[in-house]
């Protein structure tokens, strides 16, 4: 290969390599490395499409109860395992009619295209987790919002309503003080 051809090819090879690296980073940023669920950015883009297309969509916000205590008592590896199992259970429940995501820490989110059986979700999520020969207690509070019940169909309003419902399920007023449910 002559030097002129090489001089022309090198920037193209560099650009292609850089593009591949950026594409890989973008793809992995949309997936939580621990659970494999979509991150906030990846889940939000999908959830907004579902809300636009499906009037009967339901948004769920989930939070593991006493997760700090689980970590402190059994170790962070046990806590990570509980998060992974919760993600698997939530994904199985969503099936092909919804999608789950992890917002961070012990907080998960899901959207289903139609009104799901929430009782089966509660049963699936609130089962102990077998880890290192022990049964770890797992309890998950779930808040939901039927998008059709909102005055304006928006993801932010659905998440706020589901957040209020989740904290009501926990028996607390929530992280930003008391709120009323729009039902």
Residues assigned a catalytic role: 106
Strand partners, 10: none
Say whether 171 sits in a helix, a strand or coil.
coil
Q: Distance between CA 64 and CA 76 in Å, rounded?
A: 14
Q: Distance between CA 32 and CA 35 in Å, rounded?
A: 6
Say whether 144 sits in a helix, a strand or coil.
strand
Question: Cα 13 vs. chain centroid, distance in angstroms?
Answer: 37
Name the token pair of 13.
Answer: 């090879």
Name the token pair of 55.
Answer: 């009037």
Q: Distance between CA 145 and CA 85 in Å, rounded?
A: 24
């Amino acid at each position: 290969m002559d030097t002129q051809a090489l001089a022309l090819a090198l920037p193209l090879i560099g650009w292609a390599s850089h593009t591949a690296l950026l594409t890989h980073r973008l793809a992995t940023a949309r997936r939580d490395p621990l659970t494999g669920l979509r991150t906030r950015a990846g889940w939000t883009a999908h959830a907004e499409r579902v809300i636009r297309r499906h009037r009967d969509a339901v948004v769920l916000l989930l939070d593991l109860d006493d997760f700090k205590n689980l970590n402190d008592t059994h170790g962070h590896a046990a806590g990570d395992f509980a998060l992974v199992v919760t993600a698997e259970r939530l994904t199985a429940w969503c099936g092909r009619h919804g999608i789950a995501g992890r917002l961070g820490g012990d907080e998960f989110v899901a959207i289903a295209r139609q009104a799901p059986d929430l009782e089966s979700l509660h049963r699936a999520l609130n089962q102990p987790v077998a880890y290192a020969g022990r049964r770890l207690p797992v309890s998950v509070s779930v808040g939901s919002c039927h998008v059709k019940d909102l005055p304006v169909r928006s993801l932010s309003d659905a998440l706020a309503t589901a957040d209020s419902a989740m904290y009501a399920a926990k028996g607390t007023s929530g992280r930003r003080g008391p709120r009323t449910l729009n039902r």
